[in-house]
Amino acid sequence: VLPKSAEARIAAGLKQFYSHMLADPMPDKFTVLLQQLSGISRTPEGGP
């Protein structure tokens, strides 16, 4: 069993660490990729 203070620091650290990653700006390459995927998806099945 961890001390309460250790549990609290870990919980707060994880929250801050993950929040920073969630807030990371989305690179343009994902928008491009999704546009490309939409284009590919419109190709009839069995087509080129």
Q: Give me the residues that bind another protein (CB under 8 A), please.
A: 1-18, 20-24, 26-27, 29-30, 33-34, 37-38, 40-45
| Least distance in angstroms from the C-beta of 12 to another protein | 7
Residue placing its CB nearer to another protein in the complex, 20 or 48: 20
Burial of residue 15 (number of CB atoms within 10 Å: 0-12, 13-18, 19+): exposed
| Least distance in angstroms from the C-beta of 23 to another protein | 8
18 three-class SS: helix
13: nearest Cα among 2, 1, 27: 2
